[in-house]
């Protein structure tokens, strides 16, 4: 991929669109059909959209550098705040049809704790992703080799997904729904974290070929 302002704009647009859409579809949960410790792994609809965000920041970081990757994370955070504000504002505009209003609230009227959990998990995990990516990359760069691209790509993503999973589920379900304080729900909470992380881990590995292809011939 060429190192041009146009390509950077495309990747940032892809990042922000995926991020904002992830907030819209995260309310839809689906069963994977895979059991873990007797519990079927359940995932939010945002899991696929969110995986794209890590790929795009890694590509931006590899070609344009850490500073631009960090800016992208910040722009995404601001985009999330604006999208959340607009969704809340629209909720309180009088609806012409009561059934439409009820559907809107059901789909987009997320619990405020889930919104906070999503924002915190996003910013911390994405910031960590950029940090680890460039920390490991700098070690290889000092050795004068780029053959370890898949290492810093995977290391940054799989570790940041741990942070994202623990923070979002911990804040949203553990604190928001009170599962931390309910002895009967602590085990399901733990299994939810483990199950979702396993799936995210697989997605992180699957994005490696795309990262390698997109950064194979980076040119100014």
Question: Per-residue pLDDT tens for 134-152?
Answer: 998 888 877 766 677 778 8
pLDDT digits (tens, 9 = 90+) for 11-30: 999 999 998 888 777 767 77
List the chain residues with pLDDT less than 70. 27, 110-111, 144-146, 217-220
Answer yes or no: pTM beyond 0.85: no
Interhelix angle 5-25/66-91, nearest 10 degrees? 40
The total of other beta-carbon atoms located within 10 Å of residue 48's CB is: 14
Task: Specify the DSSP element, H or E, that contains 29.
Answer: strand 29-36
Q: Which residues pair with 29 in a beta bridge?
A: 44
Task: Say how far apart CA 97 and CA 101 lie, in whole Å.
Answer: 6
- Joined together, the tokens standing for residue 203 give 């997605």
């Amino acid at each position: 991929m060429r190192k041009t302002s146009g390509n950077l704009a495309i990747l940032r647009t892809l990042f922000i669109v995926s991020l904002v859409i992830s907030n819209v579809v995260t309310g839809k949960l689906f069963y994977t059909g895979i059991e873990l410790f007797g519990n079927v792994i359940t995932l939010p609809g945002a899991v696929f959209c969110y995986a794209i965000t890590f790929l795009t920041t890694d590509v931006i970081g590899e070609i344009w550098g850490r500073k631009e990757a960090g800016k992208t994370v910040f722009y995404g955070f601001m985009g999330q705040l604006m999208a959340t504000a607009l969704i809340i504002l629209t909720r309180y505009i009088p609806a012409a049809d009561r059934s439409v209003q009820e559907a809107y609230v059901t789909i987009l009227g997320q619990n405020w704790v889930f919104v906070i959990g999503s924002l915190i998990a996003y910013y911390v995990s994405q910031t960590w992703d950029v940090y680890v990516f460039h920390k490991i990359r700098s070690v290889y760069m000092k050795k004068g080799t780029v053959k370890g691209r898949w290492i810093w790509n995977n290391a940054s993503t799989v570790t940041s997904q741990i942070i994202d999973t623990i923070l979002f589920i911990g804040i949203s379900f553990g604190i928001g729904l009170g599962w931390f304080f309910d002895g009967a729900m602590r085990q399901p909470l733990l299994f939810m974290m483990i199950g979702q992380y396993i799936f995210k881990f697989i997605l992180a590995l699957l994005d490696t070929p795309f990262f390698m292809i997109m950064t194979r011939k980076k040119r100014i």
